[in-house]
């Protein structure tokens, strides 16, 4: 009887769209170079659907993630907290070789747990990478439904029998990126009577490099075979994003849905031919090439269209932003900031005084245009406003500025936990 009443309540909510809480869709790309998207100047590979998020919404020109590799970034995104605060500093090993302690700590509150508490249907499609044991499964961390794989990488052409629907293996036959798009669209169809949260995490364009021949043939003009496959993989993801956006249009939900797209870290250029230029470095490094990612947000009628937002933001912000959009009270102890008032112009100034990174022996801090980089026993200082490629080290020339950033970093670092797996100074996969 109780569940019938809840269903009736949801139907009433759907009947008055003006009062309805917005849907929230967070889409994550994997190992994607910023410079490969049209919205960020890419010309070689068409990404019209991702670009449309910029045309119809906000394009962040200083969007970061909290780690230059997969799992820790996702831990930060799910919790809204710097993941090093709770020891989630490194990637684990592969599914069968992961360290015993690996998994997003259960004492942390996830975004879907909060949104579920606010009356949302919560669904996840894609790569999880936040724990392999049963207690860390997405269905135990706030999601009502799940379709995807738990590890860090997966075959696309032969998804096979370790793709899960809920906790049950399914024998998936479709190209995995297309399968994820199919499942995301189906989730929207099924969940749309009530406010929903969809976390759609493509593993594209992470290794292995696999794409259907028909998609590869469209890029015959690209001489490098690996780059041709990358282009095919990226356009498959772009088509998948297009499928999700089309569903919103068909159901007339565009003005009731906040859609965000980010990548989980910078491109591992040698591995998959992704391009991070003009940034220095790649996935695995705290230079901007490892942490500065595509970052786009659309909410028609609520957020400005075609706007570029230049102040530094970080994926940790998406958690409190989503909670605010859902009408929830601001969660405590978060590092992320609700970005909505900054995007609508209600608040001015930068959302963050500083952003920080720690990844084993590497560390960085950004304050305004200044960036501190610590690695291999070296201290470097860059002014990103005139040196976006982090080429000209000003540590010796600007000792006062250096001290300011070092002090801010040291304070933040002192608040962090020891890694629960992996070790400081030891670079994990």
Query: Catalytic positions, please?
Result: 70, 129
Closest to Ca ion by CB, 138 vs 266, is 266
CB 393 to Ca ion: min, Å: 28
Nearest to 419 by CA among 63, 20, 72, 65: 72
Quick check: 36 binds Ca ion (CB under 5 A)? no
Closest to Ca ion by CB, 265 vs 321, is 265
Closest to Ca ion by CB, 68 vs 331, is 68
Backbone angles phi and psi of 427, in degrees to 5: -80, 120
Please name every residue paired with 258 in a beta bridge, in sequence order, or none if there are none.
Answer: 24
- Binding track over 117-156 against Ca ion, x by CB under 5 A: ----------------------------------------
CB 267 to Ca ion: min, Å: 9
Part in contact with Ca ion (CB under 5 A); list of ranges 132-140, 261-269, 305-313, 333-341: 261-269
Closest to Ca ion by CB, 204 vs 334, is 204
Nearest to 231 by CA among 239, 222, 241, 242: 222
Nearest to 324 by CA among 336, 333, 314: 336
CB 37 to Ca ion: min, Å: 16
Kind and range of the H or E element at 322? helix 318-325
Quick check: 30 binds Ca ion (CB under 5 A)? yes
Q: Are strands 58-60 and 63-64 parallel, antiparallel or unpaired?
A: unpaired
CB 32 to Ca ion: min, Å: 8
Quick check: 70 binds Ca ion (CB under 5 A)? yes
Quick check: 288 binds Ca ion (CB under 5 A)? no
Quick check: 233 binds Ca ion (CB under 5 A)? no
Part in contact with Ca ion (CB under 5 A); list of ranges 11-19, 29-37, 89-97, 415-423: 29-37
CA–CA separation, 375 and 114 (whole Å)? 37
Q: CB-based contacts of 91: which residues, under 8 Å, 6+ apart?
A: 69, 70, 71, 72, 129, 152, 422, 428, 429
Part in contact with Ca ion (CB under 5 A); list of ranges 33-41, 66-74, 117-125, 349-357: 66-74
CA–CA separation, 222 and 217 (whole Å)? 10
Please pick, from the candidates 52, 145, 257, 265, the single residue that binds Ca ion as defined by CB under 5 A: 265
Closest to Ca ion by CB, 23 vs 229, is 229
CB 268 to Ca ion: min, Å: 8
Quick check: 31 binds Ca ion (CB under 5 A)? yes
Quick check: 108 binds Ca ion (CB under 5 A)? no
Kind and range of the H or E element at 114? helix 111-117
DSSP, collapsed to helix, strand or coil, labels residue 408 as helix
CB 71 within 8 A of CB 324: no
CB 371 to Ca ion: min, Å: 22
* Total site size for Ca ion, rule CB under 5 A: 5
Q: Which residue has the tokens 């790309």?
A: 29
**DSSP 3-state percent helix, strand, coil across the chain (nearest 5):** 35, 20, 45
Closest to Ca ion by CB, 185 vs 204, is 204
Quick check: 264 binds Ca ion (CB under 5 A)? yes
CA–CA separation, 200 and 126 (whole Å)? 6
Interacting residue ranges for Ca ion, rule: CB under 5 A: 30-31, 70, 264-265
């Amino acid at each position: 009887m109780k569940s019938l009443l809840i269903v009736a309540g949801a139907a009433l909510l759907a009947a008055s769209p003006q009062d309805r809480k917005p849907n929230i869709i967070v889409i994550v790309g994997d190992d994607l170079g910023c410079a490969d998207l049209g919205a960020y100047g890419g010309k070689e590979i068409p990404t019209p659907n991702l670009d449309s998020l910029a045309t119809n919404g906000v394009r962040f020109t200083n969007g970061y993630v909290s780690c230059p590799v997969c799992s820790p970034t996702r831990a930060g995104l799910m919790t809204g907290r710097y993941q090093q605060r709770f020891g989630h500093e490194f990637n684990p090993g592969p599914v069968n070789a992961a360290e015993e302690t690996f998994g997003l700590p259960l004492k942390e509150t996830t975004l879907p747990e909060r949104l579920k508490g606010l009356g949302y249907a919560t669904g996840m499609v894609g790569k999880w990478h936040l724990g392999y044991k049963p207690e860390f499964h997405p269905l135990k961390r706030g999601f009502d439904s799940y379709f995807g794989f738990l590890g860090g990488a997966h075959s696309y052409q032969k998804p096979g029998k370790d793709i899960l629907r809920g906790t049950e293996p399914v024998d998936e036959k479709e190209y995995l990126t297309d399968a994820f798009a199919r499942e995301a669209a189906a989730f929207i169809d099924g969940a749309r009577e009530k406010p929903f949260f969809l976390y759609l995490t493509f593993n594209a364009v992470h290794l292995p490099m696999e794409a259907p021949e028909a998609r590869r043939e469209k890029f015959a003009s690209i001489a490098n075979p690996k780059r041709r496959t990358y282009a095919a993989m990226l356009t498959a993801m772009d088509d998948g994003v297009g499928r999700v956006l089309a569903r919103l249009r068909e159901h007339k939900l565009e003005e009731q849905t906040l859609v965000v797209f980010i990548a989980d870290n910078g491109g591992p250029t040698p591995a998959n031919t992704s391009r991070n230029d003009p940034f220095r470095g790649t996935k695995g490094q705290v230079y901007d090439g490892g942490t500065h990612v595509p970052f786009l947000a659309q909410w028609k009628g609520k957020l400005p269209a075609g706007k570029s937002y230049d102040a530094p933001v970080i994926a940790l912000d998406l958690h409190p932003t989503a909670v605010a959009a859902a009408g929830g009270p601001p969660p405590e102890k978060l590092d992320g900031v609700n970005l909505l008032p900054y995007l609508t112009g209600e608040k001015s100034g930068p959302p963050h005084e500083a952003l920080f990174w720690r990844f084993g022996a590497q560390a960085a801090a950004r304050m305004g245009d200044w960036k501190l980089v610590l690695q291999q026993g070296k201290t470097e200082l860059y002014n990103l406003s005139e040196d976006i490629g982090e080429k000209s080290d000003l540590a010796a020339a600007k000792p006062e500025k250096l001290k300011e950033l070092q002090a801010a970093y040291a304070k933040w670092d002192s608040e962090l936990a020891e890694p629960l797996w992996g070790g400081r100074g030891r670079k994990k996969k």
